[in-house]
Structure 1
């Protein structure tokens, strides 16, 4: 599940309501509440490694990263007996190797923090997720809409949730063959013009076949990629879809959470309400805990879209405003030297030679325009 930085209590007051009139904005006291509650992020994996991440809630106005809960003891307990202890990775993440959990069996999570506070989840059934039939796409006027299709021939799933990871290839504005290293200009050894970037889903994508005669989800609209606001479709784009089977209870949890986080627009829209998970305080039963524990296997499917498959769109490179600048070798009253500019963060592109073949200046530009690593990585993904 996606990281949640606030307690479910603060879901009652998700956003400050600003009314475009003479009414003063309402700033709820929960925004500055001193309490920090446990956040449990993860699931029990029936076919792979289970990973649980423990953090603490923070105020909406706090720009720092959430505090991780380290040195806790995390155990999974079977309804029919037996328990297994997760491995503490030291960064708030706790893992359990594959093979210890069985499909259609019930398990619950037990957590004891370093401070001695205990928490426990309800029992959850490990569900086997059906395979993804197809991930498809369709070009529309403003971009590409992606769809996912799946089915369960046994009619036992009915509730589904999806996440995705996207990767795209791109080039920076200029190919740099020179770098400034140890206060001198030398030939560049690595390519910082060709990169890949990636992103993960931030929305909540759920679907149900409960009211259908067959357990089929046909072309569920997953993500729309614009052809005007980014360069994701300019060269090559890849979408990895992850599918998770859900119980009716977990589906309801995600449905309520989506309403709270995505459906707020004005005071006339549906207002947020308490979203209660299935993890509870043992030391203090009244202490809120953020998160919902589920159990399932994960099914994945990846597709690629090449620019040659798309209509003749003029997709932006995101470097349209980039321009090179000529920086002289020696400082002048009008202009700082190339070394001065490099010391200030500019990146050299290439040399400018005199008619005699001597270097008299360098073409330079900003790091964003030259070094694609400012927006991604120049390490080619293994699946590319």
Structure 2
């Protein structure tokens, strides 16, 4: 490495800071760090990018940071290098089989290709209770001006909160699959001919879905410490395809630090200013990363470490009390991205 990592010891002399909205010069490209390591299966991913500040004309320009050195170090001295993968720019992955350990604290270190050093504050991995069960509730969101209503499925979890600790929860949707139904009988040849040319196959496929996780679901157990509770933990929008048949998604429950919870709560409050579960956060928020070369530099994002519990739910279209009009794809379902006629090896709606 171009710099001595012992220099990072200076970091531990710094006190923790609360996240806060920041103001920086217009158009400045800020390093953004997004990452979560946890006690569940990996790989665990740290994403690095450069983006302009909120309100800038270049706000939508996001540049992945490639060629960086990314390290996670535990408080007992274990050092883990994260590596890049071909075709995934700006993402750094933990080695196969690696997991964070309950009770350990972890620090993220980054050296950019330019040689600038960054570090997170230590994040301790706390134990997390299991998810007892999952259910759903249909949510309908009226649109301004009387436009078509948007809707989706809110996922509700039952948990037994432990009484011997103060828990800060964060929920995120993981892997998802659903039965995709298309209309190959309606296929027509491409323009300009547009002649009817129905296909023999295939109506039904299984499609992999990547939840966008824009809606933040967090909670602190101040009101239910030591009790059983039911709480919303995720949302999946109905796009006219996902809930035509069956939809499957994994719900990941994390026990995060108090500082991580404060950061996410601030992000959530910012998002709610502009109004709905479909809207992205409207402003940049500083997290727990710092530049060791220039402590005044603004670094965005947050590095989290957490205990993880996961549970899977299958949603049948008959369970929804409001459904979007069915979207029509006039083609073989196999031409749809991330779709195949073979079900996932562990597809089991009756489990």
Q: Same fold (TM over 0.5)?
A: yes
* Aligned-partner SS, 2:263: helix
Structure 2 Cα separation of the partners of residues 118 and 66 of structure 1: 20
CA displacement at 1:163 relative to structure 2: 1.3
- 1:1-384 equivalence runs, <5 A: 33-49=26-42, 50-58=44-52, 61-62=57-58, 66-89=62-85, 91-97=89-95, 98-99=97-98, 101-138=100-137, 144-153=153-162, 155-156=164-165, 158-165=167-174, 166-175=176-185, 191=202, 194=205, 196=207, 198-200=209-211, 201-214=213-226, 216-220=228-232, 222-223=234-235, 230-264=240-274, 275-309=285-319, 316-319=325-328, 368-372=329-333, 376-379=337-340, 380-382=342-344, 383-384=346-347
Normalising by the residue count of structure 2, what TM-score does the alignment of the two structures yield?
A: 0.71
CA RMSD of aligned residues (A): 3.7
CA distance 1:113–1:189, change in 2 (3 Å): farther
Q: Are the counterparts in 1 of residues 119 and 292 from structure 2 also a CA contact under 8 Å? A: yes
8 A contact 1:36–1:57 mirrored in 2: yes
Relative distance call for 1:377 and 1:189 in structure 2 (3 A) is farther
Measured after TM superposition, the shift of residue 88 of structure 1 is 3.2
- Unpaired stretches in structure 2, ≥5 consecutive residues: 1-18, 141-150, 191-195, 276-280
Moved over 6 A (4+): 140-143, 176-180, 185-189, 271-274
Looking at structure 2, the residues matched to 74 and 10 of structure 1 have their Cα atoms a distance apart, in angstroms, of 25
Aligned-pair CA distance for 1:212: 3.0
What is the Cα deviation at residue 162 of structure 1? 0.8
TM-score after normalising by structure 1 = 0.65
Larger Rg, first or second structure (1 or 2): 1
Unaligned runs of 5+ in 1: 1-8, 14-28, 266-270, 320-367
- Residues in 2 aligned to 1:152 and 1:377: alpha-carbon distance in whole angstroms: 37
CA deviations 1:237-274 (Å, max 9, x no partner) are: 22321111111111111000111123235xxxxx9887
CA distance in 1, matches of 2:139, 2:274: 27
How many equivalent residue pairs? 299
State the distance in 2 between where 1:129 and 1:196 align.
Answer: 31
- Matched position secondary structure for 2:270: helix
Aligned counterparts of 2:267 and 2:162: Cα–Cα separation in 1: 29
In structure 2, how many angstroms separate the alpha carbons of the residues matched to 1:224 and 1:190? 29
Are the aligned partners of 1:75 and 1:109 in contact in 2 as well (CA < 8 Å)? yes
2-structure distance, mates of 1:78, 1:224: 35
Q: What secondary structure sits across from 2:259 in the alignment?
A: helix
Aligned pair in 2 of structure 1 residues 84, 194: CA closer, same or farther (>3 Å)?
Answer: closer
CA distance in 1, matches of 2:152, 2:39: 37
